[in-house]
Amino acid sequence: MVDIYMNHNAAVLKRLIKRFTNPETGALPNVQPTQLRFEKVVAAGDVNNTFTLSAEAAMTRRATESYLSTNDIFVCTDMSIGIYKELNLTGTARRAGNSQIYYYPDKTKFPVAATAANVSEVDALECIYNGSISVKSNTYEVINSQDTLRYRVGAITQDAAATQPSSGTFHGEQRVPFHAPILFAGNKRNEITLKSASGADTVQIGGDAAVGSNVYVILMYGFVVRNAAESLTLSQAADALLL
């Protein structure tokens, strides 16, 4: 499995270097492995959540987010969907950079109990892994309502005990590969829409605000080609990635 994963990325990298090498001078492109990160604080009743890949002028960027530069091209090979509890230590201070990302609703980290009318916090958060995700590149829908269950990577111990801490997963298991790479230009309109399961109870999805806010995280892995957004059309670049 590791060999297949490494060979796939190596093939993508090779094709990117070949396609973006300057035909006149032979100068190699600046291609680097990278990770983009997009976040949204969860609120009670959330159903649709939209994430923009390129930072816009009026956008407020969270400290732990990482966007696609308007001058660059990004080729996404893998993606993860996670959630974390943003620590609230003083009532106003946020500590996103100290929070662990979970790729399933962890029973010890999201502990608000069920009520007579509503499911528990951890059960409410399951709605995101029973929903769907859509991805647009330059407004073209390259993924249409893909199930999000494939992005749920839970620890073995969580199946048996509500008080058991997380264990049993390894770094990298949460990265779900695409059959074909997805290409984004930073100067285009690129969006991800994350939809909760239809009819799910989301009243307690935000958890206890006194403890901290729940945050959705989209992580996209792949390669960035610096200053390449204007050098050729998306269709021309996409042709180079057909494996």
Residue 18 has what pLDDT?
A: 83
Residue 222 has what pLDDT?
A: 93
* Average confidence (pLDDT) per 10 residues, the chain, 243 residues: 58 84 82 93 87 79 90 92 84 74 89 92 94 91 92 70 52 76 89 93 88 92 86 54 47
The pTM assigned to this predicted structure is 0.85
Distance in angstroms (rounded) separating the CA atoms of residues 196 and 101: 19
Residue 169 has what pLDDT?
A: 53
Residue 164 has what pLDDT?
A: 54
Residue 12 has what pLDDT?
A: 85
Residue 207 has what pLDDT?
A: 87
